[in-house]
Amino acid sequence: MARRRLGFWQWFAVGLVKPVMTVWTRRTWRGQDHLGGDGGVIIVANHISHADPLVSAHFIYDSGRWPQYLGKASVFRVPVVGWILHRCRQIPVERGSVDAVRSLDKLVAALDQGGAVVIYPEGTTTRQPELWPMKAKTGAARLALATGAPVVPMVMWGPERIFDPRTSRVNLRPRIPVTVVAGDPIDLSRWADAPPTRATLEEMTDTIMLRLRDMLAEIRGGTPPPLWERPARSSVRHEQQGDLA
């Protein structure tokens, strides 16, 4: 398992976070076997709360993998904090910059080294009023096309009880129920040899998000709505930068 090769600061992070999450949450986990092995894997997840990374990291770590999240490059330049993030093998991403291409190279390198890269395709917590997935950016599709790495879907329901982005309220009571489910890799083979055109990337992205939406419906119940559309804005700049956020 990947965690056998962890360094000091990774073990430090585990010792800091895992005991807290063990007390804070009551967990229902399924599908961790889909994350097994040592090869590179792209984990795509729905994003409903700022608590998502803590919950998903606990799930991924206990599956035997070390999660590598994308973070704003500016955070990595903060003294001490950035140093620790680098030591914990997290990945800086230059958002809103032509340097986003370099960020793609870092992601490719992480996958080549057998990393478990976690991407929230929406790029932010969902703005859909009932916290269903919304239309996403194309970074995960672009990375899948560039590497051929398997794309494993992971959905969560319950982190919004820890921190609800609609009210900005934090719940500190113990044993909050959270459910995390990973599924079979998403079949993107029809695009395996396709050029990374905007149309191709958007088709792949919609396939990814519809899979996440339908998996989420299975654990939270209800009838999922169409993918929520963001307010219209220019997409030219994001296409040029790779939509890695």
Residue-wise pLDDT tens digits, 163-182: 999 999 999 999 999 999 99
Assign residue 181 a region (left: φ > 0; alpha: ψ between -120 and 50; beta: otherwise): beta
Region 215-221: mean pLDDT is 97
User: Which CATH superfamily is 23-232 part of?
Assistant: Glycerol-3-phosphate (1)-acyltransferase (3.40.1130.10)
Looking at the DSSP bridge assignments, the partners of residue 156 are: 180
Entry field: residues in the chain: 245
**In the numeric block, which tokens belong to residue 215?**
């998996």
Report whether 146 contacts 184 (CB < 8 A): no
Alpha helices in the chain (DSSP H): 8-24, 52-62, 73-76, 81-87, 100-112, 139-147, 159-162, 198-220, 236-241
Q: Is the pLDDT of residue 37 over 50?
A: yes
Supply the pLDDT for residue 239: 42
Supply the pLDDT for residue 72: 80
Q: Is the pLDDT of residue 43 over 60?
A: yes
Residue-wise pLDDT tens digits, 129-153: 999 999 999 999 999 999 999 999 9
Mention every residue, 6+ apart, whose C-beta is less than 8 A from residue 215: 153, 155, 181, 183
